[in-house]
Amino acid sequence: MSTEIKDHYHETPLMTPQNLACFEKLLDDALNDLQRQVGYVVSELTQEQSRETELIDSTMVHINQSLNFRLHTRKSYLIKKIKDALKRIEDGSYGSCEICGEPISLKRLFARPVTSKCLACKEAEERLESLVS
């Protein structure tokens, strides 16, 4: 029978050029979005700073600032991850685990397009992190 149907139910369907183009678009859009947001957060941060100093004491302002800062840091981190993923699309390594070299399942990639590790390696890494932190 048709191999198409079989592939559809396969756990780790292989990356096709169409899928790759789809991921590239997805990542590109996310990158543009984040870069806009980061610009927004920065300008919002400076605005809020002056507004809130009048309202609440400096400790609150400080907490608020560090929250915004963390948000900003997280977004910068994501931007870096997306750029890395786009680089992997370019050099052809996108979709393969950077640790074991096995293909990452498309399901996982669609859920988390910036990922560079398969689920097994990611879980192993997280277990390790929880042990040392």
Shorter beta-carbon distance to Zn ion: residue 86 or 117? 117
CA distances, 9 to each of 3, 4, 17, 47 (Å): 10, 9, 19, 52
CA distances, 96 to each of 51, 88, 113, 115 (Å): 48, 9, 12, 10
- Residue 121 binds Zn ion, judged by CB under 5 A: yes
CB of 59 to Zn ion, least distance (A): 45
Q: Which stretch binds Zn ion (CB under 5 A): 15-23, 38-46, 67-75, 91-99?
A: 91-99
- Residue 109 binds Zn ion, judged by CB under 5 A: no
Q: CA-to-CA distance for 14 and 25, rounded, in angstroms?
A: 18
Residue 103 pairs in a beta bridge with 96
- Residue 118 binds Zn ion, judged by CB under 5 A: yes
Query: Is the separation of the CB atoms in 23 and 107 below 8 Å?
Result: no
Q: Which of 66, 100, 123, 125 binds Zn ion (CB under 5 A)?
A: 100
Q: Which of 15, 71, 99, 124 binds Zn ion (CB under 5 A)?
A: 99
- Residue 128 binds Zn ion, judged by CB under 5 A: no
Give the total of residues touching Zn ion (CB under 5 A): 5
Query: Is the separation of the CB atoms in 97 and 117 below 8 Å?
Result: yes
Q: What are phi and psi of 117, to 5 degrees?
A: -130, 150
Shorter beta-carbon distance to Zn ion: residue 12 or 37? 12
| Footprint of Zn ion (CB under 5 A) | 97, 99-100, 118, 121
